Amino acid sequence: MNSNQLFEKIENSNSVDFGNIFNNSIELFKKVWLQGFVHLLISLVIMIPLLIVIYIPLFAIIGVAGLENSYGDYGYVQEDLSIGMGILFVILVIIVSMVASAFQLAITAHFYRVCKQVDMGLPQTTSYFMFFKGKYLGKIFTLAIATFGIALLAASLCYLPLFYVIVPLQLLGVIFAFNPDVSASDLIKASFKFGNKIWLIAFGLIFISSMLAQIVGMILCFIGIFFTASFVYLPIYYLYKDGIGFENENESESWNVIVE
């Protein structure tokens, strides 16, 4: 659907029921927990090299600091070098964080597509990296940068606004997943517009599902968190399905063929 159709659907969105969404999420989790685990593993495979990239300059800074201590009063050159490397390290962390956020958004968006396919009994034909291709690649980076900026701004305002933006930012992934051709700015507007309408129920579902995923994961000798982590996305999927709905619930999602 296009931007106008999306905003119209949000404007006329159905009311969502906390109990129904939570129960449906549990039932769907029984069917997609393995896919959730696979998506998590893919995310880790992407994140680990990015973390290594961060640690390389960190070790360099530590090395320069050691030289500074060894040279005593003559270490002012190393001190200037250490400050410069520290600034570059902060910039690198920001860049890597946004790249990681973009990759995470793409993987999560695909998981939402899988949830729909399993939920509706559609063939699972999509590629895990479908959003890393073509015009969607630039869009996920734009959304990642915007998400980072919004979260940073909210956190700078004494953190309280961060509780408000949690809901729209969580909804952004599912709205993008099912409306990938809508512009990045309209996707952000849509997430806040929809989030405003269902904020209380959405926040409650996100909070409880997150806590439940962690508690059950810890009960399962902590390693279970890798299998339960995806549960938090399922209420968000049903918030979209029950609130906004799909343009055609029997669609074959033929557009995936174009981007694969």
The predicted-structure confidence for 150-190, as pLDDT tens digits, reads as follows 998 998 888 788 889 999 999 999 999 999 999 999 999 99
- The predicted pLDDT at position 257 comes to 40
Mean of the pLDDT values across residues 14-35?
95
Q: Could you tell me if residue 144 is inside a domain?
A: yes
Residues in the chain: 260
Q: Could you tell me if residue 166 is inside a domain?
A: yes
Tokens in use for 100?
């990681």
Q: Helical H runs in 220-259?
A: 225-228, 233-243, 256-259
Q: Could you tell me if residue 13 is inside a domain?
A: yes
- The predicted pLDDT at position 78 comes to 54
Which pLDDT band, with edges at 50, 70 and 90, does 255 fall under? very low
The CA-to-CA distance between both ends of the chain, in Å, stands at 20
What whole-number distance in Å separates Cα of residue 238 and Cα of residue 181?
21
- The mean of the pLDDT values for the chain is 85
Of 75-84, 110-119, 146-155, 176-185, the least confident: 75-84
User: What is the percent of the chain with per-residue pLDDT over 70, rounded to a whole number?
Assistant: 84
Which pLDDT band, with edges at 50, 70 and 90, does 215 fall under? very high
Q: Could you tell me if residue 54 is inside a domain?
A: no
- Tell me phi and psi for residue 183, to 5 degrees: -65, 155
- Tell me phi and psi for residue 145, to 5 degrees: -65, -45
Q: Could you tell me if residue 260 is inside a domain?
A: no
> For the chain, what is the domain count?
1
- The predicted pLDDT at position 62 comes to 64
Domain coverage including residue 149: 3-41+112-248
User: What is the percent of the chain with per-residue pLDDT over 90, rounded to a whole number?
Assistant: 57
